[in-house]
Structure 1
Amino acid sequence: MIINKHIMRTTNEKQVLQQIVNEGPISRSQISRNLSLNKVTVSDIYSELLHEGLIREVGHGVSTRNGGRKPVMALLNVDYGFVLSINILRQRFTILTSRLDGKSHDYASVSTRNVDMTTVLDMIEDRINQVVEDHENRLLGLAFGLDGTIDDNQILDAAIKGLKNFDLAKYFGDKFNVPVVLENMANQAAIFERDFSGEGVYDNLVAVTIRDQVSAGIVTNGHLYRGHRGEAGVIGKCPLADRYTEQNHETVNHYVSETAVLKQIMECQGINRVDVNRIRRDYLGHDEKLLKILDEFTYYLAKVLANISSSFAPDAIILNAPILELLPELMDSVRGYVDKLAIPRKAPLLLTKNAKEASLMGGASAIVHKVLGLDDLQLTFQNERNVVMEQIES
């Protein structure tokens, strides 16, 4: 078989850079051993990466038992530039700045209540310009997340009016002259769990996000599965039999979405804005009406999760839902209902460690992969962000 030398070279460059990102500080000799590559090949690639500024040297390691010179160690140069991850939600957008090693800072949430989409885009552009102006390094790429169906960086369907079929990637790519990655937030959450939980921890997982819609991000053998035209994981539109009358069917969104549950809670409490403190207080006070609403929610959610567990047999199902972050005790009820179901395999049900920023950090990982040219290789980052509870919006 004749292998194109340029393709071999590109593959080798990717693997060397992947080693430095995941294992750094690391020496050239160690990279050579890890990859079973010729030392001259590794040194040549190393020198090019160093010249480009993508990596930096950080002193010397320990010499071998036979003595000799101590090896020079290299790390990814996090000052090479930064990326921004932005999620567009129903009444706000959130934005997070991240370094190339996945470490993030400067989270912000901007209200867009009663604002049209054109103005929202202008607000996002202004915020990006502000971050670029304040940052000492250059912007390398943008990631956008939203509720909807996305295929090949195109929005085929969106929960937010005005985004369907809008070329968001080209719009912001042209304005800032950087690559742009679009993804639905469930897929972003799945990327976060894969890349920030530790190498190989979740090679097969399903990340379920519960907000305006119920969606699932699916990782199989370490790779994101999008299905036909990005439609994998659109579980919110699937029918679900009524708990009391099986002949009646509504969608999963009708029973389980955060929007539907919060609407019931607000009607029960006689208010028109979500009060998370009151929800928590009424729950701990065993308010019967609230407990009934939440019991219905956990029952139907358990049915959904049982189907996912049986269909995909993941290492874990990880839930990303502000209502569960507010009331983590509900997970016991969800697990209890799942245990009662006769399904062949019950995957562990876990709450994400960072519901507020999980999808943003997953988006950051996706654009870092793109910027570094490592789309098809695993990168492992450290999750060092502090978890801060955010208000649930109606």
Structure 2
Amino acid sequence: MALTDTLPAADWMQRPGLDRLTDALGAEAGAARYVGGAVRDTLLGLPVSDIDVATIHPPQEVVRRLEAAGIKAVPTGIAHGTITAVADGTVVEVTTLRRDVTTDGRHAEVAFTDDWQADAARRDFTMNALYADMRTHALHDYFGGIADLRGGRVRFIGDPLRRIAEDHLRILRFFRFLARFGDAPDAQGLAACIDRANDLMALSRERIADELLKLLVARDAVAVMRLMVQHGIWKPVLPEIDVAAVERLAALASSEVAAGIAPDPTRRLAALLEPGTAEAVTARLKLSNAQRKRIATALGQGHAQHPQALGYRLGVESAIDGLLLAGDAVAAASLTGWTRPTLPLSGGALVERGLARGPDVARALRAVEDRWIAEGFPDAERTHAIADDVVAQALRATSIA
């Protein structure tokens, strides 16, 4: 990435409604700038999803200006200066410039300001404190963020210990950004994270889980997780993540590459856990019921069956999880794009063949399904032949009894 004074053109800049928003916020007079991830990722040539704008206008003035321009203004975080603007379907977070008044490691009391550098100074890393004029795209870099981005340096703004004291989650964000953008850890930042790792205990487990899941699918997730374990970062809150857990993660990552299957955060978390502790850890992290079930299924099933049989019984996603965790990349790849078939037979067809409604039909239908799966999901004609055989056996057994 070459150093530049202007944000390069990117597709996201053509989203409908951005011109109207730019005019409404007075960007022509320098009152509003793009900030954060959209600027950073554009400089790196990465796709941009979320757009954030910083402005000197107080929140109520932002609302007034947006509504006057016919732009929907949603006060999603107005106490902290954030208004969600919806212009022609394009969603943008607009936040008034802020400075911290007090912080306790989890929450901050802020005051609004018109000082761009003061707003930049309260952000976590230099690469996240980059601003771009909404009209000219001229860049504003107060702390050397462009040079750090170019050098793959994730560097705290100012004193790392102070930044961490303001928000303990920045410890995990340091490692996540290192895994996504960094080439080597900043020594001062790493030392501060190691020194303050116990501060993570003050965070909600939901915030920890959110950062962990994002980290696990970053470019250098395995190397950074190994670094974190080496320095005891996880020990205060997730002691289950140890050297053996990271090696399982490394094996899974290799299987994903071999199978040509994209990394998945829930699957990768499963690799870090063991069957005996997974339930307790996923409960502690307050994961959703769907995530907890998926992890339990991935860790709790044997995988001796044919891949498609496994896909039918567990669901394609769970089967792929289990096969990749077992190191069977070829079998996992074979399920990519596979659609679970439907048994071409109903219980009613067995009743028509002479079985009495009730448990006998349910047992016979399971027997038909088992043979249908074992034969590789044959067509309706073969399935009905299987049904004839199963019903005949069931009727003979009833007759003998």
Query: TM-score category by the smaller chain?
Result: under 0.3
Output the TM-score relative to the length of structure 1.
0.25
Which structure carries more relative contact order (alpha carbon 8 Å, separation 6+)?
Answer: 1
Highest CA radius of gyration, 1 or 2? 2
| Higher-helix-fraction structure | 2
Output the TM-score relative to the length of structure 2.
0.25
| Higher-strand-fraction structure | 1
